[in-house]
Amino acid sequence: MSYSHAEKLARSAAGPVPAACPLPVDPRLYDSPEMRAILGERDIGGLFRAVKATGVSYRTIAALVGMSQSEVSEIISGRRVHSYDVLVRIAEGLGIPRELMGLAYTDGPPRSGYGGDDGAAASEVDEAMQRRTFVTGAAGIVLSTWGAGYAGDRVPFPTDVPSVPTPLPTKLSASDVAALETLIARTRSFARAWGGQADTVRETVNRSMRLLTVPASESLRRRLKIALSEFHMVAGWCCFDSGADDAARYHYSRSMELARAADDAYSLAYTLRLASSLPGERGYPDDALTLLRLGQLALDTATNDARQGAFIAGWLRAEAGFEFSRMGRATEARREMAAARNGWESSDPDEIADVNATLAEIELNLGRLDAAESAAQTAVRGWKGHPDRRRSVLDDITFATIHVRAGEPDGLQLAHGAVTAVAHLRSQRARDRLTPLITTLESRPSSDHRELARMARKVASIRV
């Protein structure tokens, strides 16, 4: 049995689709006068309700148009959609000719039908008009400013030129997946440097999901699913770092679904490790521990790469130790950290810095300042000059908190440096992590400490 592109996207990204859900949407749905009116007004809530009435679930609609179910629910409840890119994604996902929604590249009324010679002619006329408008606009900018004796009016550039999605390949190749993997690595590096980037990454990963509709060999399709799982994991991390918890959960869930579809326990466990930080930092360590245990359960079924399994298992134990330390359970925290180190020793300097950063936070939570200071100092040195500025700043906050709490002479200077560094990041999480430092500064008797605490609160209050 063969499936259309839309069916393959829904089946790969949203799990098995019940037989009662016909996919794709029958294009005859859009031929009635009532539907033409809904599409002409871009009433997306009405569109979703009409598609649902044909037997397509809201979950499947969300998968087809690259949205979460909560976003679909908000639109059905009355939220309007104005973004051109989102409207195009909806049209493509549900098989709607763009012109029926006024998304074609002409200024005239929407055309009926699905293309033909009239469409080609209109496209040629529109292309010529856009070229002339661009050249005239450029001339107006240059001549009105630097053209001697020019007395004409400057013609403005068009302000609403639609973006055009990159055409999909007819068949997926290894180079297509390699390009996606390179994009993911660069996106992760950029996000680590400055933090945040949720909107940009979300848009890119949703567009990348279109590759699931392209024919490919089984081995290449598995590699693609693993890459997309990683991309959703990065998107979830960026959303969490931006303070967008619902969006983070959505992308983490998509990452896990794709990892399961690719039978990749390692990707699934690593996503669970990152996802555990969300409930942990919101004050629900028990939920975080549950996610970490699920990650370990997934790893128990994977046996083909001992090094990778030990790496992820070590991190699951280390993160569990951190969650126990939040709860003040010192015995369990140290047990988990010892198990993490016994099962996995790394020679990678970044990994060593990360482990010591986690150990420093555990010891700080347990009130062992000497041990915390030693681990934090190793972490800070490991990240010095590293392009991952956001991680470096988080460790600077921990290091400063330890020194201020211990009454060290350089505590105020370290705290000022950490607060200043946070102000230059796009990370909401880094701002939230200033809270323990602020509390520690406010507990000190000097006016300088209290003044810096006020400055830190101001930085922490800025939404990015």
158 within some domain? no
Answer with the one of 233, 257, 281 that is the final residue of a domain.
Answer: 257
Are 226 and 373 members of one domain? no
Is the pTM here over 0.85, yes or no?
no
Domain assignment present for 216:
yes
Residues 201 and 328 in one domain: no
Q: Are residues 424 and 384 in the same domain?
A: yes
In a domain, 154, yes or no: no
Q: Is residue 156, in this structure, part of any structural domain at all?
A: no
Q: What is the pLDDT of residue 310?
A: 79
Tell me, yes or no, whether 200 lies in a domain: yes
The rounded distance, in Å, linking the Cα atoms of 260 and 297 is 13
Residues 298 and 427 in one domain: yes
One domain for residues 183 and 263: no
pLDDT computed for residue 19 by the predictor = 37
pLDDT in tens, 106-160: 333 343 333 344 445 445 545 566 666 667 667 666 766 665 555 555 556 655 5
Full domain range(s) for residue 439: 258-461
Residues 350 and 433 in one domain: yes
Do 251 and 215 sit in the same domain of this protein? yes
Same domain (yes/no): 454, 341: yes
Task: Give yes or no: residues 277 and 412 share one domain.
Answer: yes
**If you average pLDDT over each of 63-67, 180-184, 388-392, which comes out highest?**
180-184
pLDDT in tens, 371-397: 888 888 888 887 777 667 777 888 888
Q: Do residues 401 and 332 share a domain?
A: yes
pLDDT surpasses 70 at 64: yes
Would you state the structure tokens that stand for residue 366, as one six-digit string?
Answer: 């347990």
Provide CB contacts within 8 A for 236, sequence distance 6+: 247, 248, 249, 250, 251, 252, 255, 271, 274, 275
The first and second tokens of residue 188, run together, are 């992760």
DSSP secondary structure, 380-437, as one string: HHHHTT-S-HHHHHHHHHHHHHHHHHTT-TTHHHHHHHHHHHHHT---HHHHHTTHHH
Q: Is residue 145 part of a domain?
A: no
456 in the same domain as 351: yes
b/e burial code for range 425-434 (CB count within 10 A of at least 16 → b): bbbbbbbebb
How high is the mean pLDDT of the chain?
80
Q: Choose the final residue of a domain: 39, 72, 101.
A: 101
When pLDDT is averaged across residues 32-57 and rounded to a whole number, the result is 87
Residue type, 135: V
| Residue 365: C-alpha distances to residues 69, 321, 325 (Å) | 38, 11, 6
Could you give the number of structural domains in the chain? 3
- The answer to whether 85 and 96 have CB atoms below 8 angstroms apart is no
What local confidence, expressed as pLDDT, does residue 117 receive? Answer: 45
If you average pLDDT over residues 204-209, what whole number do you get?
88
**Domain end marker among 237, 257, 277:** 257
Task: Looking at the structure, tell me whether residues 239 and 263 fall in a common domain.
Answer: no
The pair phi, psi for residue 231, each rounded to 5°, is: -65, -45
Write out the two tokens for 326. 């939040």
User: Is there a domain that residue 331 lies in?
Assistant: yes
Residue 114 belongs to a domain: no
CATH at 395:
1.25.40.10
Please give the pLDDT value at position 91: 86
8 Å CB contact between 379 and 404:
no
